[in-house]
Amino acid sequence: MKSTSPTLPFGAFVPTNGWPTVPSISQVAATRRQRRELRTLPSHILDDIGVTATEAATEAKRPIWDVPGYWRR
């Protein structure tokens, strides 16, 4: 398991070897698209996936580089 430093802009992070990695353009685009679509989901769909409207709105407002660490492994 890699040890990483705090997150840098656009999801870059520095593993223990010191070389930063950056997600691909397709990963950034997918994150943006998914968060944009999350904003538009009706309440019955959000109920199906176990997410409240407030949680969905909060997630949709996150910047594209703010993703969980396990997405970058």
- By three-state DSSP, how is residue 21 classified? strand
41 located within any domain: yes
50-65 pLDDT per residue, tens: 999 999 999 999 987 7
15-64 pLDDT per residue, tens: 555 555 566 778 888 888 999 999 999 999 999 999 999 999 999 999 87
Give the count of domains, the chain.
1
Cα(21)–Cα(38) distance, rounded to whole angstroms?
A: 27
- By three-state DSSP, how is residue 6 classified? coil
9 located within any domain: no
7 located within any domain: no
70 located within any domain: no
- Structural domain containing residue 31: 24-64
Cβ proximity of 71 and 34 under 8 Å: no
Please give the biggest Cα pair distance in the chain: 46
pTM of the model: 0.57
